[in-house]
Amino acid sequence: MILQGKTAIITGATRGIGHAIAIRFAKEGCNVAFCGRTRNAAMEAVEAELTALGVKAKGYAADVADYESAQNFVKEVLADFGNVDILINNAGITADSAMKRMSEEQFDKVVGVNLKSVFCMTKAIQPAMWKQGHGSIVNIGSVVGIAGNYNQANYAASKAGIIGFSKSCAKEFAARNIRVNVVAPGFVETEMTADIPKELMDTWCSRIPLKRPGTPDEVAQACVFLASDMCPYITSVVLPVCGGMEDA
Ligand code: NAP
């Protein structure tokens, strides 16, 4: 169990990729503090699922795009768990539209959640990680932040921003042995991609060298590696998990 005895914060773990990361981490012996925007049945179910794997686990209602909410979330986790070794910034949304029709609200909303949440959570955890002199931060980007995509200028901007932000923090935090990396998934089947028409999905898959979408757990495995002590000399990288998609 390569994360045995560690504690991680995972944002947006009530479903999808964040949920898969939480399960993987718990199976690797990691205590997990996670959040979604509201405390609901899904959050309680994830809490129970993780606890059944033999680790300490707790869900928190927090809007990580809100500065105060992120500060309070981390404060509560530190009070409950004592310390945090790993931060996975996974929470994210889409609001797709061609540029011609994209509203200011759609742009602000997506950048406001996807990019600002990474800033808010990094600000909140930095003092504790700085003090303890170690930490691993993994930010979930997207291949879209590298290659761009039709109808996703707002999303691509938010994910490209995460790369620049992460590489800057990697430089600043290295002096305190805090590593900062990005995992950039390609096309992964979750609720976020559930509305994509089957014909479009088939076309995309035909262009992926591995000829299929990724699974949330395949993204989670990359996060385990980057979060763990198996890669103490890896910081500032962008790791695509995308079946070999072009441009990534
Ligand atoms: P998802 O199924 O829609 O899940 C998103 C999660 O984020 C939920 O748990 C949601 O919780 C949480 N969340 C959203 N806004 C939040 C906020 N302001 N504060 C706290 N939690 C918030 O999405 P997913 O497909 O698993 O995506 C996870 C990450 O991977 C995202 O960053 C996404 O951009 C990235 N990604 C996904 C794909 C893909 O193909 N699926 C590809 C590349 C990158 P509540 O609704 O309970 O608040």
Q: How many domains does the chain have?
A: 1
Q: Which residues are annotated as catalytic? A: 155
Answer yes or no: are the C-beta atoms of 143 and 243 closer than 8 Å: no
The percent of residues above 70 in pLDDT, for the chain, comes to 100
* Ligand 1 atom having least distance to the Cα of 144: 43
The H-or-E segment that residue 46 falls in is: helix 41-51
Q: Is residue 247 part of a domain?
A: no
Confidence at residue 248, expressed as pLDDT on a 0 to 100 scale: 67
Q: Is residue 56 part of a domain?
A: yes
pTM for the full predicted model? 0.98
Q: Average the pLDDT over 57-66 and give the result.
A: 98
Q: Is the pLDDT of residue 192 over 90?
A: no
Q: Is residue 248 part of a domain?
A: no
Q: How far apart are CA 154 and CA 10, in angstroms?
A: 23
Q: What is the pLDDT of residues 89-147, one digit of tens each?
A: 999 999 999 999 999 999 999 999 999 999 999 999 999 999 999 999 999 999 999 99
Q: Is residue 211 part of a domain?
A: yes
Task: For residue 52, report the distance from its CA to the centre of ligand 1, in Å.
Answer: 24
**With b meaning 16 or more CB within 10 Å and e meaning fewer, what string describes 108-133?**
ebbbbbbbbbbbbbbebbbebbeeee
Q: Is the CB of 16 under 6 A from ligand 1?
A: yes
Task: For residue 140, report the distance from its CA to the centre of ligand 1, in Å.
Answer: 9
Q: Is residue 172 part of a domain?
A: yes
* Signed CA dihedral, 225, 186, 141, 247: sign only: positive
Structure tokens at 126: 């930095």
Q: Is the CB of 113 under 6 A from ligand 1?
A: yes
Task: For residue 36, report the distance from its CA to the centre of ligand 1, in Å.
Answer: 9
Domain containing residue 162: CATH number: 3.40.50.720
Q: Is the CB of 201 under 6 A from ligand 1?
A: no
Q: How far apart are CA 28 and CA 4, in angstroms?
A: 6
Q: Is the CB of 84 under 6 A from ligand 1?
A: no
Q: Is the CB of 241 under 6 A from ligand 1?
A: no
Collect contacts of 144-150 with beta carbons under 8 A, ≥24 apart.
145/184, 146/184, 146/238, 146/240, 146/247, 146/248, 147/245, 147/246, 147/247, 147/248, 150/98
Q: Is residue 27 part of a domain?
A: yes
Q: Is residue 1 part of a domain?
A: no
Q: Is the pLDDT of residue 48 over 80?
A: yes
Strand order in the sheet with 57-61: 57-61, 31-36, 7-11, 86-89, 135-140, 178-185, 238-241
Q: Is residue 207 part of a domain?
A: yes
Structure tokens at 166: 């992460």
Task: For residue 91, report the distance from its CA to the centre of ligand 1, in Å.
Answer: 4
Q: How far apart are CA 129 and CA 134, in angstroms?
A: 6
Q: 147 is in which domain, residue-wise?
A: 7-241
Confidence at residue 135, expressed as pLDDT on a 0 to 100 scale: 98
Dmax over Cα atoms in the chain, in whole Å? 51
Q: What is the pLDDT of residues 203-226, one digit of tens each?
A: 889 999 999 999 999 999 999 999
Ligand 1 site-directed mutation target among 15, 87, 139, most atoms within 8 Å of CB: 15
At 195, the pLDDT band (50, 70, 90 cuts) reads confident
